[in-house]
Structure 1
Amino acid sequence: MSKTVVEQAGPVAGASEPVVSEQIVVRRGKLAAMREAGSAYPNTWRSDHQCVDIHARFDDMDDQTLEQYTDPMRVAGRMMAHRVMGKSSFVKLQDGSGQIQLFLNRDVLGADVYNPTRKWDLGDIIGAEGTLFRTRAGELSIRVTHIETVSKCLRPLPEKWHGLSDVETRYRQRYVDLMVTPESRDTFRQRSRIVSLLRQGLEERGFIEVETPMLQPEAGGAAARPFSTHHNALNMELFLRIAPELYLKRLLVGGFERVFEMNRNFRNEGSDATHNPEFTMVEFYQAYADFNDAMDTTEGLMRSIATTLGCEQVEWEGVDINLTQPFKRVRLDESVFDRRPDLRGHANDKALLATVCMQVIPDFKPLITWKAGHYLLALFEELVEPELLQPTFITHYPVDVSPLARRSNDDATVTDRFELFVAGREMANGFSELNDPDDQRGRLVAQAQAKAAGDAEASGVDEDFLRALEFGMPPAAGVGIGVDRLVMMLTGQHSIRDVLLFPHMRPEQ
């Protein structure tokens, strides 16, 4: 048997490769018999109960009342365990909500139906009907009067997941992971709940949900390398969006004053514990608001979600995070000066900042287009960012690294921009939006020049966006929150792959 077949089948405790191969052969033999009988993969079974509902309704019912309840229960799910005891057997059935025990008896079902060796394998999807009772051990069960195979499982299920190689298999074969790992199912149910609460929180604040293009003629709204493609009919190059920002701002121009999008973004970059080339963000924009309002909304959303889920205090990356306390707000330059007092008053001294970067950052390689703000940001990322454990807003980013943010009224070299950090990881980015079309053109032109000079993450000039600004965009604030990282924090997961159903992986060898 080839190695590939073993990996696809999944590890089986105590089994050698030939045993796995034999199991598949045996299962296919059973499928062949089903085909011959005309019963392979039917679509006739209909359930009327789920396991979680049965337990919720009947677990606390006393035995006498339960014996008098004779309404039949029709359930369906995957056979996760099968314990044979002569002419009786117990089956653990798992549906999308949970598990329930089935009791099978040969005298009730008939010898032909009951024969467990000939009929069923672990992993088979079955339908069963019967009445409820409680076993001597006190477990709520269904005494089956009818059972049938709904879908044949041709590959043996793994008994355990352990070790690094199995972790990779969990990501590649998420469908198997979800079958056998309750914690994974719980994480993705929690993810769904968090996304729903994000939508609910924004809608309660008067935001409307919109959709903007994923294929864009100009990749903008963030500093990232895009994926490109070609539209044959129009004979033009298009880009998968790196952010929806410029289109959401167009909607502010059009008169929608509070908008949000739960969006998929695509960035042509590597994968690590917090990055995946395809990821989810929620971006929202509010007219007649500034970055202080945006920070308030961001903090309020996160706290309300955590409160609803009962996880205001969570452990993440070895840090006990408290989401009940007000989030700190610290200027970026001041956070650097606190670690390097010798730089205070020199935030715009490019030469000095570059020298310090060379001294403190291993393998430091700046781009030729960098300005003072780029070096200051590099020092922040090296000296400060890893130490931001409790929720902290870092504010007033340099103009040099914030091409879409409004300049501060008090200092034209910085912007009214913030990023939120928790456990040393960026969670959100927002700012007072730049609505001066002339200032915006100048910054986009500078970005285009940096792109031409070799900065793969710089954007070009979006003329239609500039035209929209010339019609007049109201003062506004916008925020992007990383949904995947928010889910990681609230569920205590350490890798983004654990909160993505199908993370990107290298091809199997």
Structure 2
Amino acid sequence: MPQNPPFWRPGVHAGRRPYLLARGKIAAAVRAWFAENGFVEVETAALQVSPGNETHLHAFATDLIGPGNERRRLYLRTSPEFACKKLLAAGETRIFDFARVFRNRERGALHHPEFTLLEWYRAGAAYETLMDDGVALMRAAAEVVGTRAFGFRGRTADPFAEPEKITLADAFDRFAGADLLGTIAGGEGDRDRLAREAERTGVTIAADDTWGDIFSRVLAEKIEPRLGQGGRVTILYEYPLPQAALARAKPGSDKVAERFELYACGVELGNAFAELTDVAEQRTRFAHAMDEKERIHAERYPIDEDFLDALAVMPQASGIALGFDRLVMLATGAERIDQVIWTPVVES
């Protein structure tokens, strides 16, 4: 039996309805902003050969059955990224997708197994342009629902204020007293050196933690809770290369990539890249991520060869994925993601 009264109970729905109506207003405002800025809305397929090749993202699998009863394994996408980049290769230059996506093993106040990612891409644009885009869309969401501040769990952020911008290296130094870049050489992370830095800051390390595991622990325990001080939106940028699976390296650097994440009220809202277009490098990164996935989770996903073929002709571009449901939450003050989803997946 469900743990909570179902969403369709009239009393439950009445409490959720203001958030849902606000969701529609925000979606309309977002679409209007994209139209004003020359973007085309696309609708990409949910069924994919590969759901994505990130170590800690988990997909839903299904079988496509052909007319001769032949079976082919497909996956519900964790992101529309591969499909959108194929459209860039096809010649589109400014696109966005309100994409329903699916991630297994995720449920909580900010996580839902089926949710909406708002992704957009600009061919020929620097990734810093997406910083401005993200701030503009947050402001559009706030304006349409008549609020001056985002809120979540007692924290507030003013989307109209100038955002705070901080590199990962500066954040590790300021909030953890750790030398992040000193643990990276030739694009690879020195696990033992980062472990020593983390333990010195009081972060507990397990014997089998990788460099990426330790990075994530320090980020979650020491960095993220300190972001957005003073009620501002935070842009955390120049991620280390070992944490940039689909982003290109910053020119002249073998340590950091052109990647940023957008935070408000301590909540991660968006993840952006200057897109990697080196096919050989992308294949290597995918293979490494899947080796790690198999080691940690005892599963791996196929590589979409069609995507790599498209990547070979895709122009230089920048792209971002923004959690639309989370944007609605922050703009309306909702406490749980299922409050802003019309028909949430029933818990059992």
Structure 2 length normalisation: TM-score?
0.89
Higher-RCO chain (CA-CA 8 Å, sequence separation at least 6):
2
Q: Which ranges in structure 1 are unaligned for 5 or more consecutive residues?
A: 8-164
Distance 1:413 1:387, change over 3 A: same
**Secondary structure of the structure 2 residue equivalent to 1:219:** coil
Match of 1:189 in 2: 21
Distance 1:344 1:271, change over 3 A: closer
**Secondary structure of the structure 1 residue equivalent to 2:131:** helix
Match of 2:111 in 1: 275
Structure 1 position 381 matched with structure 2 position 214: no
Selected match of 2:46 from 214, 224, 230: 214
The count of residues paired between Structure 1 and Structure 2 equals 335
Mean alpha-carbon deviation: is it higher for 396-405 or for 254-263?
A: 396-405
**Secondary structure of the structure 2 residue equivalent to 1:211:** coil
| Residue 358 of structure 1: how far off its partner (Å) | 5.3
Distance 1:443 1:315, change over 3 A: closer
Distance 1:235 1:458, change over 3 A: closer
Paired with 1:386 and 1:459, the residues of 2 have a C-alpha distance of: 33
Paired with 2:178 and 2:255, the residues of 1 have a C-alpha distance of: 20
Give the share of equivalent positions with the same residue, in percent: 31
Distance 1:367 1:402, change over 3 A: farther
Distance 1:497 1:475, change over 3 A: same
Paired with 1:342 and 1:442, the residues of 2 have a C-alpha distance of: 29
Distance 1:464 1:261, change over 3 A: same
CA deviation vs aligned residue, 1:439-479 (integer Å, no higher than 9, x gap): 21221222232233334687542211111122x21111101
Paired with 1:376 and 1:315, the residues of 2 have a C-alpha distance of: 27
Match of 1:64 in 2: none
Match of 1:37 in 2: none
CA deviation vs aligned residue, 1:22-80 (integer Å, no higher than 9, x gap): xxxxxxxxxxxxxxxxxxxxxxxxxxxxxxxxxxxxxxxxxxxxxxxxxxxxxxxxxxx
CA deviation vs aligned residue, 1:373-416 (integer Å, no higher than 9, x gap): 55334312210101223310111112212111111113222110
Match of 1:224 in 2: 57
Match of 1:205 in 2: 37
Q: Which has the larger radius of gyration?
A: 1
Distance 1:331 1:485, change over 3 A: same
Selected match of 2:271 from 429, 432, 436: 429
User: Are the equivalent residues in 2 in contact too, given 1:290–1:431 (CA < 8 A)?
Assistant: no
| Residue 431 of structure 1: how far off its partner (Å) | 1.0
**Secondary structure of the structure 2 residue equivalent to 1:427:** strand
Match of 1:478 in 2: 319
Structure 1 position 452 matched with structure 2 position 304: no
RMSD after superposition: 2.3
CA deviation vs aligned residue, 1:105-131 (integer Å, no higher than 9, x gap): xxxxxxxxxxxxxxxxxxxxxxxxxxx
CA deviation vs aligned residue, 1:345-386 (integer Å, no higher than 9, x gap): 523242121244456335x55766x34x55334312210101
CA deviation vs aligned residue, 1:74-114 (integer Å, no higher than 9, x gap): xxxxxxxxxxxxxxxxxxxxxxxxxxxxxxxxxxxxxxxxx
Structure 1 position 319 matched with structure 2 position 151: no
Match of 2:93 in 1: 257
Selected match of 1:395 from 212, 237, 240: 237
Distance 1:224 1:342, change over 3 A: closer
Mean alpha-carbon deviation: is it higher for 485-494 or for 379-388?
A: 379-388
Selected match of 2:284 from 421, 442, 445: 442
Distance 1:475 1:331, change over 3 A: same
1:167-178 superposed matches below 5 A: 168-169=4-5, 172-177=6-11
Structure 1 position 329 matched with structure 2 position 165: yes
User: Are the equivalent residues in 2 in contact too, given 1:316–1:489 (CA < 8 A)?
Assistant: yes
Selected match of 2:131 from 295, 310, 334: 295
Match of 1:500 in 2: 341
Distance 1:459 1:294, change over 3 A: farther
**Secondary structure of the structure 1 residue equivalent to 2:89:** helix
User: Are the equivalent residues in 2 in contact too, given 1:387–1:423 (CA < 8 A)?
Assistant: no
**Secondary structure of the structure 2 residue equivalent to 1:397:** coil
Paired with 2:207 and 2:10, the residues of 1 have a C-alpha distance of: 45
**Secondary structure of the structure 2 residue equivalent to 1:454:** helix
Distance 1:342 1:500, change over 3 A: closer
User: Are the equivalent residues in 2 in contact too, given 1:374–1:400 (CA < 8 A)?
Assistant: no
Match of 2:187 in 1: none
**Secondary structure of the structure 2 residue equivalent to 1:174:** coil
Structure 1 length normalisation: TM-score?
0.62
Q: Which ranges in structure 2 are unaligned for 5 or more consecutive residues?
A: 185-189
Paired with 2:41 and 2:162, the residues of 1 have a C-alpha distance of: 28
Structure 1 position 306 matched with structure 2 position 125: no
